[in-house]
């Protein structure tokens, strides 16, 4: 299935690496105008896509900053007149994340990026989408929103919040012709794996019936689908891209 994003304005957070970078590439290949958002890595991805002839704008920004979101959206509406797609992908995991060992600082870091960042992104773009009478939002949740992963207490809580936000917003803005969905990747070979211990990896693989971990490109394909015309009757939904992990 092919999806055409020609002339669409597409925002991708966490675009400097991993799933966000893979999604940005795929949207660009399909004609989209990309706005890349991350706290690092943006110039490299921007240069890569521009060299391929894609329309791209890199923005180094913290997704926890409500003022930065407001300013960015105002600038984009002044430049382009609309925002068609938002992919809320930015997220972190930290080692030592158990109920006993977690700290207030860890809670603040993980929840503010993984959950609050998603809420702020939706809050910033939805008024323009409602005014336009259309829009697509895809939030990146995780299998951690569905099952309890060892040493990932706050991370699980944050991704559960993403899932709940997606369902609520998907229902509320469905009458405005805005489809809001999420993907729940299983273990995926991205930069976040730098914080995952060998013991966690060893535990995750037997829980994945396909018998391997996902590539970023495989998760990105699902994101692209949920942001395309092919998802016109899907909203408030979550698609697991986990090799069968949640089905066990």
- Model confidence pLDDT, tens digit, residues 30-47: 999 999 999 999 999 999
* Mean pLDDT across the chain: 94
Q: In whole angstroms, what is the distance from residue 180 CA to residue 78 CA? A: 24
Q: Is the pLDDT of residue 127 over 70?
A: yes
Please give the residue that has the higher pLDDT: either 191 or 221. Answer: 221
Domains of the chain, CATH where assigned: 9-241 (3.40.50.720)
Q: What are phi and psi of 214, to 5 degrees?
A: -75, 155
- The model's confidence at residue 202, banded by pLDDT at 50, 70 and 90, is confident
Please report which helix (H) or strand (E) contains residue 85, including its range.
strand 85-88
- The model's confidence at residue 205, banded by pLDDT at 50, 70 and 90, is confident
Q: Catalogue the active-site residues.
A: 155
Nearest residue to 187 via CA among 113, 84, 93, 111: 93
Backbone φ/ψ region at 75: left (φ over 0), alpha (ψ -120 to 50), beta: alpha
User: Residues for the chain: how many in total?
Assistant: 248
Tell me the average pLDDT across 234-248.
Answer: 94
CA 174, distance to chain mean position in Å, is: 20
Range with lowest mean pLDDT among 4-18, 100-114, 209-223: 209-223
- What pLDDT is recorded for position 57? 98
Q: What are phi and psi of 213, to 5 degrees?
A: -90, 160
- The model's confidence at residue 17, banded by pLDDT at 50, 70 and 90, is very high
- Model confidence pLDDT, tens digit, residues 221-232: 999 999 999 999
| Inter-residue contact 139 to 127 (CB < 8 Å) | no
236's tokens: 């408030």
Q: In whole angstroms, what is the distance from residue 143 CA to residue 238 CA? A: 10
pTM: 0.94
- Model confidence pLDDT, tens digit, residues 59-79: 999 999 999 999 999 999 999
Tell me the average pLDDT across 215-225.
Answer: 96
- What pLDDT is recorded for position 73? 98
- What pLDDT is recorded for position 248? 84
- The model's confidence at residue 119, banded by pLDDT at 50, 70 and 90, is very high
Q: In whole angstroms, what is the distance from residue 86 CA to residue 84 CA? A: 7
- The model's confidence at residue 208, banded by pLDDT at 50, 70 and 90, is confident
- What pLDDT is recorded for position 38? 98
Helix axes 117-132, 153-172, angle to 10 degrees: 10
Q: In whole angstroms, what is the distance from residue 103 CA to residue 117 CA? A: 20
């Amino acid at each position: 299935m092919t999806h055409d994003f020609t002339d669409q304005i597409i925002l991708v957070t966490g675009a400097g690496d991993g799933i966000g970078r893979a999604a940005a590439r795929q949207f660009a290949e399909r004609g989209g105008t990309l706005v890349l958002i991350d706290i690092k890595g943006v110039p490299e991805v921007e240069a890569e896509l521009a060299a391929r002839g894609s329309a791209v704008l890199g923005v180094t920004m913290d997704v926890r900053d409500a003022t930065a979101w407001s300013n960015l959206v105002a600038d984009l509406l002044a430049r382009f007149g609309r925002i068609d797609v938002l992919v809320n992908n930015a997220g972190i995991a930290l080692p030592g994340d158990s109920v006993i060992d977690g700290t207030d600082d860890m809670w603040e870091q993980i929840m503010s990026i993984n959950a609050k960042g998603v809420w702020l992104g939706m809050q910033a773009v939805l008024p323009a989408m409602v005014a336009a009478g259309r829009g697509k939002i895809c939030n990146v949740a995780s299998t951690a929103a569905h099952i309890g992963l060892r040493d990932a207490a706050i991370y699980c809580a944050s991704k559960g919040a993403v899932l709940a936000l997606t369902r609520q917003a998907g229902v509320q803005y469905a009458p405005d012709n805005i489809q809001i969905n999420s993907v729940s990747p299983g273990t995926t070979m991205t930069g976040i794996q730098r914080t995952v211990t060998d013991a966690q990896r060893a535990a995750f693989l037997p829980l994945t019936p396909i018998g391997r971990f996902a590539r970023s490109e495989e998760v990105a394909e699902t994101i692209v689908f949920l942001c395309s015309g092919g998802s016109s009757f899907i909203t408030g939904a979550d698609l697991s891209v986990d090799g069968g992990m949640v089905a066990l």
